[in-house]
A = this chain, B = another copy of it.
Amino acid sequence: MPDRPLHVAIAGATGAVGEEILQCLDERDFPVAKLTLLASARSAGKTIPFRGEDIVVEELTHDSFESVDVALFSAGGGISKEFGPSAAKAGATVVDNSSAFRMDDDVPLIVPEINPEAAKNATRGIIANPNCTTIITLMALAPLHRQFGLKSIIASSYQAVSGSGAKGIAELEAQVDAIVKGEPVVQEIYPNQIAFNCIPQVDVAGENGYTKEEMKMQNEGRKILDLPSLLASVTCVRVPIYRSHSISISADFETPPTVDAARAAIDAFPGVGVMDDREAGKFPTPLDATNGDDCFVGRIRKDLVFPGGLSLWVVGDQVRKGAALNAVQIAELL
């Protein structure tokens, strides 16, 4: 935790992640001396309550960051690129939720349970928050990596519509409502109907056919774990659920872990729990993670293809640990 109360700014305060950041700051008793809420001109003038005060949302400008200690950005990559450097120049440490700076060499990419020490390398005044699916996957794999040496990941995701923001939630709700009433389904933001369907594409495909979202696991995973040799082959799929991402993982290791040793390693790690009762058939589902801080891991088995590998399943609330909570935890490192 910071040793003195800080002036905190939130850019994108009226968005879903912005709202969640406010909740995390409050729940975690983050020492806030002053709170500046920033958003587009459209949202300026709204008031948002925080710790008994109604705070007026201001329009985000290049001059918004005077005396700000920490600026939490969650308004998309374009806004981060435009206003993040101004915030850093004004003396704030920027914690950025977008992908704008993640792969820059002079910007640390941090999951506080995994690589908090990287915060000291924020020479540019910017720290990046990793991709949500990558964070949740690594919360399961980092404790195993420390003991057994991670080599490669094959993963398939089950991603909630809230990953697309409020629009994604509205589209699933509207489509479900139409189907229940027997009315025609309207499609706006997803390339296919999402209600009662799975869409095997999150973000756009790059030259090798993998989407940007899929490549983040390898690119960001290498940086977070400081493991340039990591290989990750990922398929990201949108499923008709509202909140929390799940990832089915086969992971190969240098030293073959036993299932018991894997369970013990995960259980001892902060921020992640084991929920893996084969006899009772009790395994983690997205609803178990929703609105909570912890990720949960289950279905831990010896992989049948990787000789030194494990097969496992992890769930996590991608709005919290995948975004808002992780950002606030980064701010706590300062």
Give residues in A with beta carbon < 8 Å to B: 152-154, 156, 158, 176-177, 180, 191-193, 196-201, 204-205, 208-210, 218, 231-235, 237, 239-242, 246, 248, 250, 252, 259, 278, 281-287, 298-306, 309, 311, 313
Q: When the two chains form the complex, which single residue of B210, B281, B282, B298 contacts A304, counting CB atoms closer than 8 Å?
A: B210
Could you tell me the distance between the alpha carbons of A298 and B193 in the complex, rounded to whole angstroms? Answer: 17
Residue on B with the closest CB to A311? B233
- Return chain B residues, CB-CB under 8 Å to A303: 154, 233
Q: Contacts of A259 on B, CB cut-off 8 Å?
A: 209
**Contact among B154, B200, B298 with A298 in the assembled complex (CB-CB below 8 Å):** B200
Please, which residues of chain B bring their CB within 8 A of the CB of A231? 304-305
Tell me, in angstroms, the Cα distance from A2 to B298 when the chains sit together. Answer: 49
The CA of A260 and the CA of B313, in the complex, are separated in Å by 32
What residues of chain B lie closer than 8 Å to A205, measured between beta carbons? 278, 281
A162 to chain B, nearest CB (A): 11
Q: Are B197 and A301 in contact (CB under 8 A)?
A: no
What B residues does A281 contact at CB under 8 A? 191, 201, 204-205
Q: Are B305 and A233 in contact (CB under 8 A)?
A: yes
- State the oligomeric state as a number of copies: 2
**CB closest chain-B residue, reference A242:** B196
Would you give 19 A-B contacts (Cβ < 8 Å), ordered by A? A156-B156, A158-B198, A196-B242, A201-B281, A205-B278, A205-B281, A209-B301, A231-B305, A232-B305, A233-B250, A233-B303, A233-B309, A234-B304, A235-B299, A235-B311, A239-B239, A240-B241, A248-B248, A250-B250
Task: Report whether B248 and A200 are in contact in the complex, using a CB–CB cutoff of 8 Å.
Answer: yes
- Give A111 Cβ to nearest chain B Cβ, in Å: 22
A156 touches B248 (CB 8 A): yes
Name the residue on B nearest A300 (C-beta). B209
Closest B residue to A217 by beta carbon equals B304
Which B residues are CB-close (under 8 A) to A248? Answer: 156, 200, 235, 237, 248
Report the separation of the CA atoms of residues A232 and B311 in the bound assembly, to the nearest whole angstrom. Answer: 11
The listed residue with most B CB atoms (<10 A of its CB), out of A196, A242, A311, is A196
Contact, CB under 8 Å: A199 / B235: no
Residues of B within 8 A of A156 (CB): 156, 248
In the assembled complex, how far is the CB of residue A112 from the closest CB belonging to chain B, in whole angstroms?
27
The docked-state distance in angstroms from the alpha carbon of A208 to that of B302 is 8
The 3 closest A-B pairs by CB, nearest first: A209-B301, A233-B304, A156-B248
User: In the complex the two chains form, what is the Cα distance from A180 to B287 in whole Å?
Assistant: 17
Q: Quick one: given A210-B304, A232-B305, are A158 and B285 in contact (CB under 8 Å)?
A: no
B285 and A197 within 8 A (CB): yes
Q: Closest B-chain residue to A280, C-beta based?
A: B191
List, in ascending order, chain B residues with CB within 8 A of A200's CB: 246, 248, 283-285, 298-299, 313
Smallest Cβ-Cβ distance to A251: which chain B residue: B305
Q: A200-B298, A208-B301 are in contact. List 14 more A-B contacts (CB 8 A).
A: A154-B305, A156-B156, A176-B176, A177-B180, A180-B180, A193-B287, A198-B286, A201-B299, A209-B301, A233-B311, A234-B304, A235-B299, A235-B311, A235-B313
